[in-house]
Amino acid sequence: MFPRSTVCRGAQSAVRRSAVHPAQRRGLAAPASGSFQYQSGDAKGVKFASRDFAGPTTTLALVSKAGTRYQPLPGLTEGLAAFAFRNTERRSTLRIVRESELLGAEVRAYHTRENLVLEAKFLRDDLPYYVELLGEVASQSKFDQYVYKEEVLPLIIAAHKRFLANPAEMAVNSAHSLAFHRGLGNPTASASSVPYTQYLNAEAIEYFSKIAYAKSNFAVVANGAEHGEFSQWVNQFFDGVPAAPIEQTGVGAEQTKYFGGEERIAHAGGNAVVLAFPGSSSFTGKSYKPEVAVLGSLLGGQSNVKWSPGFSILGNTKASPSTYVKTTSAIYSDAGLLYTSIVGSAQNVAKSAYAVVDAIKKVAAGEISKEQFAKAKAAAKFKELENGQDTKAGIELTGSGLVNNNQAYQIDEVAKAIDGVSEEAVKKAAASLLENKATVSSVGDLFVLPFADELGLKV
């Protein structure tokens, strides 16, 4: 199919192997062997985890501890994500893309606040090819200045423009930077042109890649791969990556602290308010509080059921049905943020913001029916378990758990933790939100949008 020189050895030998033992091949109708549990392991210093979902496809990801939190200079994470799957020592960008097309696969790279994820989805049989590809991207990527100028920079500029045109995203980023200052507070896209005019170039990104793709800083996670086979390929294809980062920068390593505050940004393109409070870290982190997830789904704002406002408090008390209100419990490795984002027309956003504070007061005072609480618990548990089934969320959480705490994200246990949340704990959590410093950021028509003290929040 491909010219001989570029056909990977691994893929060839895999084909040969399974041709010899056709009985080992998993077909479509093979029974589900696994649960949600990930099996984890270590191959020459590379951490990996996999679970054998029944099904003809596999999702494979390299999760690196190189999100915006850990970037030593602004924009490096974005640059590195855009440099993924480009020219390597062995293949060109075009060839990688074409080969993936031929195999019917999908590759992409994205980043979050804490992680940089290189992801590939493909047919089960192509596992060795993609393990090799990820190994190659991690160890043999070429960082040419002209590729940066021609292909990477336009992507970064586009992300910057998209960011500026989206008040909701601006508000969420502003809330994070108020809440956590540096580290987790770094914006996920360039908030100004400064990163790419002053800090970014191919060399800087290459330097960062030597940190991001060091064995101690990433984990490889597979969904729908047989563990033994997977460990064999990981063992084989990750020899080229450095064992330790080129330099211990220590950026983002310190324990995240919550600060809080208020920021108001004028914007003509829409209105958004984000009310944020200290939340829960991920299950693998230290400050895990399952009651925050329940409180989040109790406040809610979005309905799970069509043609109804849903059971959540904000779903019923928001200013109009067209106002977008959503409460998210954002969890990070060592901290979390519980935030409600409100997007809509200025008047409705302002009214809904008051409704959020009222709702929290109501929960703190215990004016919540048993039934509502039970529904919230069920919704939170469902979301958590769905996180497990939905490969995208699960893969990132698992990889990040492995890198940070040497522990895969075990969804069964998280669900159990949520089951154990009592009404009292949620009440206490809500009360503590009002006592502590809140984070309020408003983007849009500042004449109408309320200040934090008007809402009755301490900042």
Partner 1 sequence: MSAPSLAPFILKRPWLQKFVSPLAKWYVNAAGYRQLGLRADDLIPEENNTVQLALKRLPPKEAYDRVFRLRRAFQLSVAHQLLPKAEWTKPEEDTPYLTEAIQTVEAEMKEREDLEAMVITKRQRIAKVAH
Given the rule CB under 8 A, which residues bind partner 1? 1, 3, 15, 18-19, 92, 94-95, 98, 102, 125, 145-146, 149
Nearer to partner 1, 99 or 119 (CB): 99
- Of 420, 318, 423, 418, nearest in space to 367 by CA: 423
Integer Cα distance of 403 and 83 in angstroms: 22
Nearer to partner 1, 224 or 450 (CB): 224
Q: How far is the CB of 19 from partner 1 (least distance, A)?
A: 6
Q: How far is the CB of 92 from partner 1 (least distance, A)?
A: 6
Measured between alpha carbons, how far is residue 303 from residues 222, 238, 312, 451 in Å? 32, 44, 7, 28
Q: How far is the CB of 210 from partner 1 (least distance, A)?
A: 22
Q: How far is the CB of 160 from partner 1 (least distance, A)?
A: 23
Nearer to partner 1, 3 or 250 (CB): 3
Nearer to partner 1, 58 or 177 (CB): 58
Q: How far is the CB of 224 from partner 1 (least distance, A)?
A: 18
Nearer to partner 1, 12 or 432 (CB): 12
Q: How far is the CB of 51 from partner 1 (least distance, A)?
A: 25
Integer Cα distance of 376 and 311 in angstroms: 8
Nearer to partner 1, 150 or 386 (CB): 150
User: Six-digit token pair at 143?
Assistant: 């960082």
Residues 181-186: contacts with CB under 8 Å, at least 24 apart: 181/257, 181/259, 182/252, 183/69, 183/251, 183/252, 183/254, 183/256, 184/69, 184/113, 184/114, 184/252, 184/256, 184/332, 184/335, 186/68, 186/69, 186/71, 186/74, 186/113
Q: How far is the CB of 392 from partner 1 (least distance, A)?
A: 27
Integer Cα distance of 95 and 63 in angstroms: 23
Q: How far is the CB of 197 from partner 1 (least distance, A)?
A: 15
Query: Computed over its alpha carbons, how large is the radius of gyration of the chain?
Result: 23
- Of 166, 185, 220, nearest in space to 68 by CA: 185
Nearer to partner 1, 18 or 37 (CB): 18
Nearer to partner 1, 142 or 383 (CB): 142
Q: How far is the CB of 73 from partner 1 (least distance, A)?
A: 21
Nearer to partner 1, 147 or 276 (CB): 147
Integer Cα distance of 366 and 430 in angstroms: 10
Buried b (16+ CB within 10 A) or exposed e, 27-52: eeeeeeebebebebbebeebbbbbbb
Q: How far is the CB of 145 from partner 1 (least distance, A)?
A: 7
- Positions of E strands within 319-415: 324-331, 336-344
Q: How far is the CB of 259 from partner 1 (least distance, A)?
A: 42
Nearer to partner 1, 103 or 159 (CB): 103
Integer Cα distance of 135 and 166 in angstroms: 35
Q: Which residues pair with 261 in a beta bridge?
A: 439
Buried b (16+ CB within 10 A) or exposed e, 343-382: bbbbebbbbbbebbbebbebbbeeebeeeebebbbebbbe
Measured between alpha carbons, how far is residue 263 from residues 67, 272, 274, 277, 406 in Å? 24, 12, 10, 14, 37
Contacts (Cβ under 8 Å, ≥6 apart) of 43: 231, 234, 235, 238
Integer Cα distance of 456 and 459 in angstroms: 10
Nearer to partner 1, 95 or 383 (CB): 95
